[in-house]
């Protein structure tokens, strides 16, 4: 456990530094363009390469030393950050540079994450799995708590370059903890079947497994719909806050921090409580809580309401994700989880990338003009959303939240969805063909 805590602490510090840079870059791009599309394209270019990399990341983690993969990935990521800093220092940084570097960053993020997650069982004993899983999830939420507050306060003082230098320092700490501690390697795996599989067969096997089982296909479809609307809104929520607060970095930082606090409390509470006995119900209740909270943010126009809405939306996120993951763990035999989970993550990445791609243009070119004075939607929704800058973005954000709420309500009435859990608990032989 001590060895894990040392490595975890390095990842914790590095995650805060990376989140600070991402937050500062969002502010810089908004100051430069004032467009939701410019920020939304960050998510698109970051996620696009992950569609392909995720499929092979599992094979890399099984074939190569996981500690070396983590160091290599972290190094490539910090090189991208250093390039941003160099371009900014020489006054040559452009928004399109960030899109290219975001794509490179996206190539190495999945490798680092998978190498880290698969190394955990090699560092700690089985009785600590729940504890370390909670700590691992807290890294994401904690970075959302501290990074916006730090970056929002420091950005006006030290600028983008100062934030980048802090990020580089946190990277050095993370790599130092990795070099210091030994991470065991699993023994070489024997061939799973008498027939050797090509790389292509290993990649597509997970998709075939999901699509050949109706219970998994229903679960995949339901969560994919949720993920589409979740990512559509997530891409726009920072532009909503910036547009309606006059680009106030401290207001945005406070809202993002509130989201991190909500997620951390939700994860801790769920770890103590254990969730609903019916995991499908837990997933759907999570959807409804997220949808209702996001609706409040979309129609709200003051920072306290934005902070409260993001707090409660993030409070329900662990319930939705953990309940869904529990169904998958019960449904998939352990020796098949790597490829099946990689396929599931690839589907989610494709959906998230598409949502990120269309979110900005829909908001900027369709609904922002429609919600301005004299716009087509202003007579209908103007009293609810207003007609100032950001009203159209808020409309799209709220629409995505309504769809999440509706998905939770409709799903609770579908017997076929509730049968997913009982069918998942039945023994399921795996055919390696």
- Does residue 178 lie in a domain region? yes
Single pTM value for the model = 0.73
- Does residue 164 lie in a domain region? yes
Least confident of 95-104, 123-132, 235-244, 336-345: 123-132
pLDDT in tens, 61-89: 667 777 888 888 888 888 988 998 999 88
CATH number of the domain bearing residue 353: 1.20.1250
DSSP 247: S
Nearest-angstrom CA–CA distance, 250 and 156: 10
Say whether both 233 and 118 belong to one domain: no
Q: Do 291 and 313 touch, CB atoms closer than 8 A?
A: no
Looking at residue 23, its pLDDT comes to: 84
- Does residue 200 lie in a domain region? no
Looking at residue 311, its pLDDT comes to: 95
Say whether both 151 and 211 belong to one domain: no
Looking at residue 429, its pLDDT comes to: 39
Looking at residue 125, its pLDDT comes to: 59
- Does residue 346 lie in a domain region? yes
Say whether both 144 and 216 belong to one domain: no
Say whether both 230 and 375 belong to one domain: yes
- Does residue 60 lie in a domain region? yes
Least confident of 196-205, 317-326, 365-374, 401-410: 196-205
Say whether both 139 and 212 belong to one domain: no
Q: For residue 357, what are its two tokens?
A: 């791609």
Who contacts 56 (Cβ-Cβ below 8 Å, separation ≥6)? 199, 203
Question: Which of 56, 355, 53, 341 shows the shortest CA–CA distance to 216?
Answer: 341
pLDDT in tens, 167-218: 889 888 888 888 777 776 655 544 444 456 666 777 787 788 888 888 888 8
Q: For residue 264, what are its two tokens?
A: 């951390």
Say whether both 401 and 288 belong to one domain: yes
Looking at residue 368, its pLDDT comes to: 94
DSSP 91: T
Say whether both 220 and 178 belong to one domain: no
- Does residue 127 lie in a domain region? yes
Looking at residue 372, its pLDDT comes to: 92
Nearest-angstrom CA–CA distance, 77 and 24: 16
Nearest-angstrom CA–CA distance, 348 and 351: 5
Q: Is the pLDDT of residue 121 over 70?
A: no
Least confident of 85-89, 113-117, 318-322: 113-117
Q: Mapping DSSP to helix (H, G, I), strand (E, B) and coil, where does residue 368 land? A: helix
Q: Do 430 and 335 touch, CB atoms closer than 8 A?
A: yes
Q: Is the pLDDT of residue 334 over 90?
A: no
Separation in Å, CA 357 to CA 99, 366, 408: 12, 14, 25
Q: Do 40 and 356 touch, CB atoms closer than 8 A?
A: yes
Say whether both 179 and 239 belong to one domain: no
- Does residue 121 lie in a domain region? yes
Q: Do 28 and 39 touch, CB atoms closer than 8 A?
A: no
Looking at residue 15, its pLDDT comes to: 84
Looking at residue 365, its pLDDT comes to: 92
Domain with 162 in it: 1-184
Spacing of C-alpha 49 from chain mean position: 15
Q: For residue 50, what are its two tokens?
A: 């992950």
Say whether both 117 and 154 belong to one domain: yes
How many domains does the structure of the chain reveal? 2
* C-beta atoms surrounding 73 within 10 Å: 23
Say whether both 123 and 232 belong to one domain: no
pLDDT in tens, 262-298: 988 887 787 778 778 888 999 999 999 999 999 999 9
Say whether both 177 and 214 belong to one domain: no
- Does residue 433 lie in a domain region? no
CATH number of the domain bearing residue 18: 1.20.1250.20
Say whether both 114 and 224 belong to one domain: no
pLDDT in tens, 145-167: 778 778 877 888 888 888 889 98
Q: Mapping DSSP to helix (H, G, I), strand (E, B) and coil, where does residue 315 land? A: helix
Confidence of residue 122 (pLDDT cuts 50, 70, 90): low
Looking at residue 10, its pLDDT comes to: 81
């Amino acid at each position: 456990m001590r060895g894990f805590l040392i490595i975890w602490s390095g990842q914790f510090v590095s995650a805060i530094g990376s989140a600070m840079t991402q937050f500062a870059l969002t502010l810089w791009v908004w100051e430069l363009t004032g467009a939701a599309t410019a920020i939304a394209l960050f998510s698109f270019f970051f996620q696009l390469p992950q569609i392909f990399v995720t499929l092979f990341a599992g094979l890399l983690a099984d074939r190569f030393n996981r500690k070396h993969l983590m160091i290599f990935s972290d190094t490539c990521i910090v090189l991208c950050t250093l390039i941003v800093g160099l371009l900014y220092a020489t006054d040559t940084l452009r928004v399109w540079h960030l899109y290219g570097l975001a794509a490179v960053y996206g190539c190495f993020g999945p490798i680092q994450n998978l190498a880290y997650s698969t190394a955990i069982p090699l560092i700690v004993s089985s009785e600590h799995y729940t504890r370390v899983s909670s700590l691992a999830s807290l890294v994401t939420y904690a970075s959302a708590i501290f990074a916006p507050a730090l970056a929002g306060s420091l950005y006006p003082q030290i600028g983008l370059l100062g934030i980048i230098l802090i990020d580089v320092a946190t990277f050095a700490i993370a790599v130092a903890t990795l070099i210091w501690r030994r991470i065991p390697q699993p023994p070489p795996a024997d061939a799973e079947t008498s027939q050797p599989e090509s790389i292509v067969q290993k990649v597509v096997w997970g998709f075939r497994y999901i699509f050949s089982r109706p219970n998994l296909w229903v679960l995949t479809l339901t969560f994919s719909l949720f993920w589409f609307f979740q990512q559509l809104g997530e891409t726009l929520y920072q532009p909503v806050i910036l547009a309606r607060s006059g680009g106030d970095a401290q207001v945005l930082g406070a809202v993002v921090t509130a989201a991190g606090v909500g997620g951390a409390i939700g994860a801790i509470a769920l770890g103590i409580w254990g969730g609903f006995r019916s995991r499908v119900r837990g997933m759907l209740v999570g959807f409804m809580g997220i949808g209702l909270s996001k609706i409040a943010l979309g129609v709200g126009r003051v920072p306290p309401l934005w902070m409260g809405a993001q707090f409660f939306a993030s409070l329900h996120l662990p319930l939705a994700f953990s309940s869904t993951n529990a169904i998958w763990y019960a449904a998939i035999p352990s020796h098949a989880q790597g490829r099946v989970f990689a396929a599931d993550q690839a589907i989610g990445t494709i959906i998230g990338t598409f949502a990120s791609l269309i979110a900005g243009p829909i908001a900027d070119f369709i609904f922002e003009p429609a919600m301005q004075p004299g716009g087509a939607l202003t007579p209908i929704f103007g009293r609810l959303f207003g007609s100032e800058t950001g009203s159209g973005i808020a409309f799209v954000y709220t629409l995505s939240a309504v769809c999440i709420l509706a998905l939770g309500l409709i799903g609770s009435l579908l017997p076929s969805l509730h049968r997913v859990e009982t069918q998942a608990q039945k023994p399921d032989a795996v055919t390696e063909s």
